[in-house]
Amino acid sequence: MRSKIVAGNWKMNKNLTETEALLTELAAKLPDTQAEVMVAPTYVNLASAVRTLESSVIEVIAQNMHFAESGAYTGEISADMLLSIGVDTAIIGHSERRAYFGETDEILAKKVVTALDKNIRVMFCFGEELEDRKSDNHFNVVESQLKNALFSLEASAWSKIVLAYEPVWAIGTGETASADQAQEMHAFIRKTITEAYDATIANNVSILYGGSVKPGNAGEIFGKPDVDGGLIGGAALVADDFVAIIKAI
């Protein structure tokens, strides 16, 4: 059985004081839910976030991590550093990392291998750009992103992977994929994993949708059979909105 997950990616938002305030409010308002709830504040506030949420079920996760164990990589953060503060899940492959920081499929494949070696759960993000969808190439793009970064992994690695389909054209734009578009792509992703591995792996991996999920559209998107939750950007920065999205699952 795959888990339902609602995760908030805070991106480069909220200073230390604001982070503590938002987490305290979220912990107080968290509804009863079967879903796993996660938040990804910025690196500098991760350790404090872990402390603030010590007695909450909300999990603190990282927005990124480096593929090297340690060494001369100024500005980067290693798997061991995350583990040492109690963070054992990392987002890898976010489209903003790909677009603004030159993260290629090859780099992402290395990050995934390092994370799994260190027993860090991977929330792997991928998704097509607007031109890909307009030219009807979106299935090919998604298939190659998955293949290049994940399909060399051994079958057993998949128990530590969560997928997040985030069409780039829907991120931060207010334009959401329709629930039917999300379902269509998620079903395609499961079919692709079935072909590369098997149906058990495909059916056990949680596939989240991300891209302008809001309280008003979350219910419809989460209602689709192959959508197991959401990776939420803007709406995760407002406690009441994030709580409403958690309730929708």
Q: Which residues bind ligand 13P (CB under 6 A)?
A: 9, 94, 166, 171-172, 210-213, 231-235
- Asked whether residue 212 is marked as a ligand-binding residue, the answer is yes
Nearer to ligand 13P, 162 or 235 (CB): 235
In the numeric block, which tokens belong to residue 38? 């996660």
The minimum distance between CB 11 and ligand 13P, in angstroms, equals 7
- Asked whether residue 234 is marked as a ligand-binding residue, the answer is yes
**Cα(79)–Cα(119) distance, rounded to whole angstroms?**
9
The minimum distance between CB 167 and ligand 13P, in angstroms, equals 10
- Asked whether residue 11 is marked as a ligand-binding residue, the answer is yes
Tell me which residue has tokens 């991590």: 65
Which is catalytic among the residues 103, 143, 166, 186?
166
- Asked whether residue 160 is marked as a ligand-binding residue, the answer is no
The minimum distance between CB 235 and ligand 13P, in angstroms, equals 6
Give yes or no: 69 in active site: no
The minimum distance between CB 172 and ligand 13P, in angstroms, equals 4
Strand partners, 208: 164
The CA distances from residue 241 to 1, 165, 193, 196, in Å, are: 28, 21, 33, 37
In the numeric block, which tokens belong to residue 107? 């780099």
Nearer to ligand 13P, 41 or 234 (CB): 234
Nearer to ligand 13P, 45 or 230 (CB): 230
Which is catalytic among the residues 66, 94, 138, 186?
94
Position closest to ligand 13P via CB: 233
Nearer to ligand 13P, 88 or 96 (CB): 96
Give yes or no: 94 in active site: yes
Q: Binding-site residues, please?
A: 9-11, 172, 212, 233-234
Catalytic residues: 94, 166
Q: Binding-site residues for substrate, please?
A: 9-11, 172, 212, 233-234
